[in-house]
Amino acid sequence: MLRILLIDDTQSKLGRLKAALSEAGFEVIEAPGLTIDLPACVETVRPDVVLIDTDSPDRDVMEQVVLVSRDQPRPIVLFTDEHDPAVMRQAIQSGVSAYIVEGIHAARLQPILDVAMARFESDQALKAQLLARDQQLAERKRIEQAKGLLMKMKDCNEEQAYTLMRRQAMSRQQKLIQVAEQIIAMHEMLG
Amino acid sequence: MNTVPRATPLAWVNGSDAPEKPSLNIGYMALTDCASVVVAATQGFAQQHGLTLNLKRQGSWAGLRDKLVSGELDAAHCLYGLVYAVHLGIGGVPASEMAVLMGLNQNAQAINLSPALQRKGVTNPEALARLAHQHGARLTFAQTFPTGTHAMWLYYWLASQGIHPLRDVDSVVVPPAQMAAHIQAGRIDGFCVGEPWAADAVATGQGFTLATSQSIWPDHPEKVLACARAFAEQYPNSARALIKAVLAASRFIEQSPENRRSTAQLLSGSAYLATPLASIEPRLLGSYHDGLGNHWQDPHALRLHDHGRANLPYLSDGMWFMTQFRRWGLLRDDPDYLGVARQVQQLALYGEAAQSLGVACPEPMRSSLLIDGSRWDGSDPYGYARSFSLHAMGDLPDARVGA
């Protein structure tokens, strides 16, 4: 059963979603408005989805969403009465997976949550890939830099420099990037 | 016959050949023959091809298989036989299409016997065959996976000595690193395993090496880099880049004895094999002590590259495992040997990767002479599977029990 953290941030506090969600068969954990520390709340409750019901998503709401997306990434669905496309864009940028204006019917909840979770998964995969590419590029640059320094110091060619670094790394049970960092650090100290 | 398609400059004209998936989870077992994978991942070979390889050490071959099939692992250091068993649906999981991207190594597995047998003077094949056929002496041998290479080497070797591996002895599955502990506990009388575990058992006084796998078949196929067929189809650029990284690493390791020694040092680390260097390095460099006082430099020790001869996913190598599955009754019917091998062995991807690194591609069929004098060249798998006097093919009228 899907575990849903429901944040009711509406003025009326009518709990319009609670009944619909329970009816649709979800496990619902309710939390008061966004005066709470949302990342900490997500950490304790460990929900599959975070659902925020708000009259209008203001800066405070967005702030909390950004924090959750960074530290405790979860699919976040925002139910609101706010029609303003600018607000909607900002919400999506902050890390909201689905932005739903009005119209809450029990029957529509499942597909909305499904889409939100699918979208969240593909976003996470994309983020991980971008991160991997950035890291590769950064490591490659550092290794290139160390190789260049070694070529000068040892007066050797590129392949010899790589081999020297690799042998050093392997005999110390380290990765090539670690030895590259050591060479750069040593060069900075002596240089 | 040459079935390796030549890569043309137009091969990737439709787009970039950058890996579709830049970060891959790679499974491996703590064995000396995982060297190329570990060196590729840690020594900057993967970055050069736009990949990050996240090494995931596995505790058993069954666990590795499950994660490979579920997609938790993108690719893995894998037993040749395991890939074909999963592809053909033999064993614990339903058939799932698999792919062999490249060979990782040839040789360097061994059959060891226990100190108890050594004390009884069972230190040669003849004495073992006598004991195995004695009434009441039921010997138990361990291998690492029911359809894996070690099971096949153990069966082939026992049969070559007149011992029926399924009728004259019992066999059990034990993870590689636990062989010596099982010998010590007296649960098994011998085992077939990859290095360094046979050398480590000798070094710790837990028995001796009776036969090396290369004495069964010099330069036999052993571990492969395997993935689900879906992975190779969905991410061909990642698969090609992965082959390039591992192939370049294997070439680097064999470039000099110093490189081999550094590789042994890397592997002995706690993150990888967590085993003393003294158990890894000698046999990695071809220096064998059998634990009976014999010492030799093995001409067919671990080959990780051998100018590409150890890396091509030969069709005849893939087919051989199917002939042995058939021989031992693991396959009830003959598969389309060549057809299945063509599906599984990724000759096209491998050929493109090898060409870009300037590594030669031999013909995809090779001819070998095995310990029992039989020749295997892939030309007649149906006949070859039926050519053995000891087997477990129930459908043959002349099936003999024992020897």
> What confidence tens digit (pLDDT) does each residue in B77-101 have?
999 999 999 999 998 789 999 999 9
Rounded Cα distance between A21 and A7, Å, is: 13
Question: Of B219, B250, B268, at which residue does a domain stop?
Answer: B219
What confidence score (pLDDT) does residue B289 get? 98
Same domain, B246 and B351: yes
DSSP 8-class letter at B399 = P
B131 within a domain of the structure (yes/no): yes
- Looking at per-residue pLDDT, the higher value among A21 and B251 belongs to B251
Phi, psi of A24 (to 5 degrees): -80, 0
Same domain, B232 and B346: yes
B174 within a domain of the structure (yes/no): yes
Q: Answer whether residue B331 shows pLDDT above 80.
A: yes
Lowest mean pLDDT of A82-91, A156-165, B233-242, B363-372, name the range.
Answer: A82-91
Cis peptide before B299 (omega within 30 of 0): no
What confidence score (pLDDT) does residue B1 get? 43
Same domain, B250 and B333: yes
In this complex, the residue of B23, B47, B266 whose CB is nearest that of residue A170 is B266
B233 within a domain of the structure (yes/no): yes
B73 within a domain of the structure (yes/no): yes
- Reported pTM: 0.84
Domains and CATH numbers, chain A: 3-104 (3.40.50.2300), 135-190 (1.10.10.10)
Rounded Cα distance between B236 and B12, Å, is: 11
Contacts of A177 in chain B (CB under 8 A): 44
What confidence score (pLDDT) does residue B8 get? 42
Rounded Cα distance between B177 and B112, Å, is: 14
Asked whether the CA dihedral A132, A137, A142, A148 is positive or negative, the reply is positive
Average pLDDT over residues B324-352: 97
CATH of residue B192's domain is: 3.40.190.10
Same domain, B126 and B66: no
Same domain, B128 and B35: no
Buried b (16+ CB within 10 A) or exposed e, B314-331: bbbbbbbbbbbbbbbebb
Same domain, B97 and B188: no
Same domain, B260 and B340: yes
B285 within a domain of the structure (yes/no): yes
Range of the domain at B285: 23-105+221-381
Q: Nearest C-alpha of chain A: how many angstroms from B356?
A: 17
Same domain, B88 and B231: yes
What confidence score (pLDDT) does residue A67 get? 84
Average pLDDT over residues A47-64: 82
**Tokens at B396, concatenated:** 């043959």
Q: Nearest C-alpha of chain B: how many angstroms from A177?
A: 7
Question: Of B185, B219, B253, at which residue does a domain stop?
Answer: B219
Question: Of B191, B219, B247, at which residue does a domain stop?
Answer: B219
B377 within a domain of the structure (yes/no): yes
What confidence score (pLDDT) does residue B395 get? 53
Average pLDDT over residues A25-54: 82
What confidence score (pLDDT) does residue A124 get? 85
Same domain, B42 and B181: no
B173 within a domain of the structure (yes/no): yes
DSSP 8-class letter at B34 = G
- Looking at per-residue pLDDT, the higher value among B292 and A33 belongs to B292
Query: What 3-state DSSP class applies to B211?
Result: strand
Same domain, B118 and B156: yes
Phi, psi of B94 (to 5 degrees): -60, 155
- Whether residue A163 and residue B259 make contact (CB cut-off 8 A), yes or no, is yes
DSSP secondary structure string for all residues of B140-152: EEEESSTTSHHHH
Average pLDDT over residues A134-151: 95
Which band of pLDDT confidence, cut at 50, 70 and 90, is reported for residue B4?
A: very low
What confidence score (pLDDT) does residue A14 get? 62
Rounded Cα distance between B53 and A130, Å, is: 15
| Model pLDDT for residues B355-367, shown as the tens digit of each residue | 999 999 999 999 9
Query: What is the number of structural domains in chain B?
Result: 2
- Whether residue B52 and residue A135 make contact (CB cut-off 8 A), yes or no, is yes
Average pLDDT over residues B287-308: 98
Place of tokens 């060479």: A183
Q: How many residues does chain A have?
A: 191
Strands B98-103 and B190-194: unpaired
What confidence score (pLDDT) does residue B10 get? 42
Q: Answer whether residue B287 shows pLDDT above 70.
A: yes
B4 within a domain of the structure (yes/no): no
What confidence score (pLDDT) does residue A95 get? 84
Same domain, B53 and B146: no
| Amino acid identity for residue A21 in this structure | L
Same domain, B58 and B192: no
Mutation pick from B16, B20, B21, B23 vs chain A, by most beta carbons of A within 10 Å, is B23
Is the ipTM here above 0.95?
no
Query: What 3-state DSSP class applies to B294?
Result: coil
Average pLDDT over residues B45-60: 95
Report chain B's mean pLDDT, rounded to a whole number: 93
Asked whether the CA dihedral A174, A177, A179, A181 is positive or negative, the reply is negative
Collect all residues with Cβ–Cβ distance below 8 Å to A68 and sequence separation of at least 6. A38, A39, A42, A50, A74, A76, A95
Place of tokens 């290369």: B214
